[in-house]
Structure 1
Amino acid sequence: MKFQIRDETDKALVISLQHEFMRCDDAFNELVHWTTKFFPDTNPRRASYRAYNSYARFVHHLYEFMMGAINRDRRDTTSIRADEADRLLTREFQKIITRRRAAILEGRAPAWENDISAYPEDVSPSVATEFRRLRNTIIGHAKHERASLSLSDFFQRNHMYLYLLYEDTKWLWLPKKGEFPDLGEITAFSLAVQHSPSIQTSTHSQ
Structure 2
Amino acid sequence: MKFQIGDSIDSAHCTALKHEFLRCEEAFKEFESFATTMILKKQAEETGNTTSIAGESRFLAYKTYNAYTRFIHHLYEFLVGALARETGNTGQIDAHIAERYIMGHANRILQGKRSALLNGTAPSWENHISAYAESVPAEFAQEFRKFRNKLSGHVKHERSTMSLSRFYSTYHQYLYMLYWNCLDHWGSHRNKEFPDLREITDFSVLITSQEHP
TM > 0.5 fold call: yes
One-letter amino acid of the structure 1 residue matched with residue 133 of structure 2: P
- Unaligned 5+ segments in structure 1 are 196-206
Alignment of 1:154-193 (within 5 A): 154-175=167-188, 176-190=190-204, 193=205
1:53 correspondence with 2:66: yes
What is the deviation of 1:6?
1.0
Counterpart residue number, 2:33: 33
TM-score (norm 1): 0.90
Question: For the Cα contact (< 8 Å) 1:38–1:47, is it kept in 2?
Answer: yes
The superposition leaves residues 95-133 of structure 1 with CA deviations (integer Å, 9 ceiling, x where unpaired) of: 000100010001011122111122222222200000000
The superposition leaves residues 69-114 of structure 1 with CA deviations (integer Å, 9 ceiling, x where unpaired) of: 0000011112111111111110000000010001000101112211
Match of 2:139, SS state, is helix
Match of 2:201, SS state, is coil
Q: Which of 135, 138, 145 is the matching residue for 1:122? A: 135
Question: For the Cα contact (< 8 Å) 1:4–1:10, is it kept in 2?
Answer: yes
- Rg larger in structure: 2
One-letter amino acid of the structure 2 residue matched with residue 149 of structure 1: M
Q: Which of 99, 104, 108 is the matching residue for 2:121? A: 108
Identity %: 46
Q: Relative contact order (alpha carbons < 8 A, sep ≥ 6): 1 or 2 greater?
A: 2
Counterpart residue number, 1:71: 84
RMSD over aligned Cα atoms: 1.7
Counterpart residue number, 1:199: none
Q: How many equivalent residue pairs?
A: 194
Q: Distance in 1 between matches of 2:68 and 2:143?
A: 15
Question: For the Cα contact (< 8 Å) 1:87–1:125, is it kept in 2?
Answer: no
TM-score (norm 2): 0.87
**Moved segments of 4+, more than 3 Å:** 37-42
Counterpart residue number, 1:204: none
Counterpart residue number, 2:96: 83
